[in-house]
């Protein structure tokens, strides 16, 4: 089973747009299982529309590790690839003292291929962008 995580450096960097685009493109040749990390209920509707498979939430705050693993295993079964959209920044969870609720907390223990989205809204402050 192939797995991809789309993680961001923060919120509002384009994770949903890029994740949904990747899901749609992969769905043309593969059976894609979409996921959203966190309790979000809006982004998964885009995933479901793009893939025609119901997007599932993986949330390390409201679910224990076994529940997250069970949902992932059950819904990834018989799929070619799973695409997981992260939440906020990679290590941003509910507390500055641990990673509970973060993309990193859900991805631990899985062998994911990860892609990072770095927003360039104000490139002179946040990042360096080359044309």
On whether residue 118 sits in a domain, the answer given is yes
pLDDT tier, 131 (very low <50, low <70, confident <90, very high otherwise)? very low
On whether residue 104 sits in a domain, the answer given is yes
Q: Please report the pLDDT score of residue 10 as a whole number.
A: 85
DSSP calls for 10-66: SSSSSHHHHHHHHHHHHHTTS-EEEEEESS-SSHHHHHHHHHSS--EEE-TTTS-HH
CATH of the domain at 7: 3.40.50.300
| pLDDT (tens digit per residue) in 62-109 | 999 899 999 999 999 999 999 999 999 888 888 888 888 999 888 886
Q: Please report the pLDDT score of residue 120 as a whole number.
A: 63
Number of domains forming the structure of the chain: 1
Has residue 115 got a pLDDT over 80? no
Could you tell me what percent of the chain has a pLDDT over 90?
57
On whether residue 93 sits in a domain, the answer given is yes
On whether residue 110 sits in a domain, the answer given is yes
Q: Please report the pLDDT score of residue 121 as a whole number.
A: 60
On whether residue 41 sits in a domain, the answer given is yes
On whether residue 131 sits in a domain, the answer given is no
Domain region containing 101: 2-126
> Can you state the angle between helices 15-27 and 43-51, rounded to 10 degrees?
20
On whether residue 87 sits in a domain, the answer given is yes
pTM for the model: 0.86
Residue of 51 and 122 predicted with greater confidence: 51
């Amino acid at each position: 089973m192939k797995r991809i995580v789309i993680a961001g450096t923060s919120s509002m960097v384009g994770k949903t747009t890029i994740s949904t685009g990747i899901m749609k493109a992969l769905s043309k040749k593969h059976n894609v299982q979409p996921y959203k990390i966190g309790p979000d209920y809006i982004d998964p509707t885009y995933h479901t529309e793009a893939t025609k498979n119901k997007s599932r939430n993986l949330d390390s705050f409201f679910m224990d590790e076994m529940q997250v693993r069970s949902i992932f295993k059950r819904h990834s079964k018989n799929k070619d690839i799973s695409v997981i959209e992260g939440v906020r920044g990679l290590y941003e969870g509910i507390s500055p003292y641990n990673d509970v609720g973060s993309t990193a907390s859900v991805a631990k223990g899985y062998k994911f291929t990860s892609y990072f989205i770095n927003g360039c809204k104000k490139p002179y402050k946040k990042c360096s962008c080359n044309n």
